[in-house]
Amino acid sequence: MKKNILICLIFGAILSRGQNVNGTAINKASGEPLPFVQVINTANNQSTFSDYSGSFSIDAVWGTDSLLFMANGYGQKTILATENVIMKLSLLPIGLNSVVISTNREQELREETPVAISSVNTETIEANKPTSIDQVLNQTPGVNMVDLGNEQHTMSIRRPIDYGASYLYLEDGIPIRTSGVFNHNALLEINMANVSRIEIVRGPASSMYGSEAIGGAVNFISKKPTLKPTAGVSVQGNNLGYKRTDFYTSSTLKKKRGFRIAGYYANQTDGLLAHSDFNKLALSANMQYNLSKKSELIWSNSFIDYYSEMGGSLDSTKFYEKSYGSNQTFTHRAVNAFRSKVAYNHYWNKNSKTNVTGFFRNNSIAQNPSYRVKDDYKPWSGTGDPNLAHGEENENAFQSAGLIVQHKQQFKRYNSSLVAGASADYSPNTYDANYISILKNDDGIYESFNSSDSLLADYQANIFNTAIYGQFKSEPIKNLKVLLGVRYDNFRYLFDNNLGSNSFTAVEDGQNIFSRVIPKIGATYQIKKHTGAYVNYSQGYVPPQVTTLYVGNDIPSLKPVYYDSYEVGGWSTLFGERARFEWSIYRMEGVNEIISVLKDDGSTQQENAGKTLHQGIEYSLKDKLAKDLFIRVSGTYAIHQFTDYTIEGTDYAGKVMPQSPNWIMNSQLTYKPSALKGFRSSIEWQHIDRYYMEKENAKIYNGYDILNLRLGYEYKAFEVWTNVMNLTDELYATVARATNWGQRYSLGRPRNVNIGLAYKFQKK
């Protein structure tokens, strides 16, 4: 009898050991599934990993065994095994073992990546509640995203503030605009309500992504469908006439079909600046279908409808007297953008993955731009009609169809991996510009305009861009990882001019071909846990943009721009892993950099500068000062100068490039009291150093310092926040320039108080 009882007990124990635990790992902040989370049964040390949809299955005794969850960049958690588990993981506050994807379109550890890369995660976006993207991007080292009002912007990463094609903007690894038709306002076309995180690669990234990624690449990673039904709505507004409503809904049905719909509508009326009203509707619809345990299909769509008046910049008198009227009455910009992409991901095994992405874009920018308005009267010569000005109405539009195929293979030998891919993009581009004469009254107001039959441009340029690329990484000796990358890019512009040889745009029909082999080599070395260094050599490349190559020319004479970049950097934890310090030192040598040259008649012309030099140091420190207190300091010190540049007999070699502050810094102190759960507060300091306003280095803008205060409180499903931007009401300009026409200032927003309220629903 005792023997039978013993056999039964043993048999029962064996059966109980065979119990199966099914579950899903998710990001606590966003509710998105987390792939590649390691799940360990601590009773028997058996382990497994969550798949691409966050799902896992492991043998464990319910109510007895403990499960340990570990994921790179997230805090570890241990729970008691049950039949079904939903594990919510939170990001580590100082970014230990963080994961990035923007260096090769695949997930990899930040500490194995030999580039300067920063990430703005979901928690940062949610805590800062930005009304424009610059309010979070500028918190990363080496980045100065310049606010031009109404979500309009330009960028400065390892380069001066300018408006050229120096940066590549991507959504989920796909350029949001076709290469060759760059627009410095391209991030107008991002739906901020659907952004999970942002990754910024500083320095050339052309070996992986192609042209335009010379100053850097900014990748906006979309939110994934949540596991459980979730929805939310928020409203906010400030004292400068800005109002915005956000919404989203998301879920996954039967662990197979996920969806997320998100968007926002923003508008501004009767703002501080005259003629500065705007409105924007942004919508995204993403669907994910899990075809099997090894393959998924993702369909993403984005639509942007944007309109803004263009009040222009202020002259020095109006700026310093705080007279914010506008002499513009009709200038405007209208953007209509639609993007759709279908991605198929197949995981052959844990060492092999193939991705195929097809995409379509339909984009139009129609404008009567204030920056094209030029007075007929020239004060330096005393000639011209003081009541006449010149301008234009134009529209730049393109459609794209493209395909990217990529495969990643990992090898046991030397812990190696190979990423190889090919891409093709066909984008017919049309552009037309019509001259307008403008009436300027005696008070200096541009009060009306007359259209004419005079066409400045009317063409179609069919853009063909094909590329192949590869990136190989291996570990020849322990802790040393070496990366080799190369890309071949080929651009073909087929130009069809609808105007004659005597027109403003007189380039004859024909084609221009630009091609380049773009190399990259780098290495990382892990000195000890969470401490390491990297070196990197890479090239940046960008062909002339279509408009700069053809508009206003009779011969397309601009040359491609090349950059050689040399970089060394590192990272280390301090004070027992309480803090993390990152740094990078870079030197970029530019050849044929395209700059805007002001002519004696007040017009501008795009020309190749001979050579330029950009060098600096970037740094970032994150420190958990106390249990509830956290500090972040990010900054850069850089020098940008002409090394070989002569125009109209004047040699500018050795001159500092205009709009290039030496020191840029952003720091933030955050307090989240444990005694008041759900409350947060932070104070942010943004510093922009003095800089020259023109290439002669004769006029200086003194820069600025501004403070931003943010307060927020979450209680159950509700959240309320108040952001006081420019707390001390500093008078500052985001861009200051000097020309023959005088000094012009793009006004930074004075003190404004933004108040918001949100409600979030999530099924338990």
Task: Decide: 99 and 110 in contact? Cβ < 8 Å.
Answer: yes
Q: What is the pLDDT of residue 636?
A: 97
pLDDT of 598 over the 80 cut: no
- The arithmetic mean of pLDDT across residues 329-347, rounded, is 96
Tokens of 642: 């002409």
Q: What is the pLDDT of residue 599?
A: 58
Q: What is the pLDDT of residue 492?
A: 96
Q: What is the pLDDT of residue 4?
A: 53
620-655 per-position pLDDT tens digit: 999 999 999 999 999 999 999 999 988 878 899 999
Alpha-carbon distance 41 to 62, whole Å? 11
Going from the N-terminus, what domains does the chain have, and what CATH number goes with each? Answer: 2-89 (2.60.40.1120), 219-762 (2.40.170.20)
User: At which residue do the structure tokens 């190979």 appear?
Assistant: 418
Q: What is the pLDDT of residue 637?
A: 98
Q: What is the pLDDT of residue 438?
A: 94
DSSP state of 224: P
pLDDT of 9 over the 60 cut: no
pLDDT of 690 over the 80 cut: yes
pLDDT of 15 over the 50 cut: no
Q: Which of 110-124, 234-248, 400-414, 481-495 has the lowest mean pLDDT?
A: 110-124
307-336 per-position pLDDT tens digit: 999 988 899 999 999 988 888 999 999 999
566-596 per-position pLDDT tens digit: 999 999 999 888 999 999 999 999 998 877 6
Task: Decide: 203 and 154 in contact? Cβ < 8 Å.
Answer: no
Of the chain, the percentage scoring pLDDT greater than 90 comes to 67
C-alpha distances (whole Å) from 478 to each of 9, 262, 404, 520 are 48, 45, 34, 22
Which residue from 68, 73, 42 is spatially nearest to 56, judged by alpha carbons? 68
DSSP state of 91: B
Q: What is the pLDDT of residue 96?
A: 66
pLDDT tier for residue 10 given thresholds of 50, 70 and 90: very low
Q: What is the pLDDT of residue 293?
A: 82
| Residue count (the chain) | 764
- The arithmetic mean of pLDDT across residues 711-739, rounded, is 96
Q: What is the pLDDT of residue 75?
A: 82
- The arithmetic mean of pLDDT across residues 265-291, rounded, is 94
pLDDT of 47 over the 90 cut: no
Nearest 5°: CA angle at 657, between 651 and 660? 170
- The arithmetic mean of pLDDT across residues 708-730, rounded, is 97
Nearest 5°: CA angle at 620, between 618 and 625? 160
- The arithmetic mean of pLDDT across residues 134-151, rounded, is 96
pLDDT of 108 over the 90 cut: no
Rama region for 56: left / alpha / beta (φ>0; ψ in -120 to 50; rest): beta
pLDDT tier for residue 151 given thresholds of 50, 70 and 90: very high
542-570 per-position pLDDT tens digit: 999 999 899 988 888 888 988 999 999 99
Three-state SS for 617-680 is: EEEEEEEEEECCEEEEEEEEEEEEEEEECEECCEECCCCECCCCCCEEEEEEEEECCCCCCCEE
Tokens of 357: 């992405």
Q: What is the pLDDT of residue 11?
A: 46
Q: What is the pLDDT of residue 18?
A: 56
Neighbours of 223 (CB within 10 A): 21
Alpha-carbon distance 347 to 59, whole Å? 23
Average pLDDT over the chain, rounded to an integer? 91
User: At which residue do the structure tokens 């979500």 appear?
Assistant: 151
Q: Which of 398-407, 513-522, 599-608 has the lowest mean pLDDT?
A: 599-608
- The arithmetic mean of pLDDT across residues 6-11, rounded, is 48
pLDDT tier for residue 485 given thresholds of 50, 70 and 90: very high
Q: What is the pLDDT of residue 14?
A: 47
- The arithmetic mean of pLDDT across residues 77-83, rounded, is 87
| Sequence-distant (≥ 6) Cβ neighbours of residue 181 within 8 angstroms | 396, 398, 427, 429, 463, 545, 546, 547
pLDDT tier for residue 513 given thresholds of 50, 70 and 90: very high
C-alpha distances (whole Å) from 12 to each of 5, 82, 507, 731 are 10, 18, 86, 77
Alpha-carbon distance 153 to 136, whole Å? 14
| 7-11, 21-25, 691-695: range with highest mean pLDDT | 691-695
Backbone angles phi, psi at 571, to 5 degrees: -150, 155
pLDDT of 162 over the 50 cut: yes
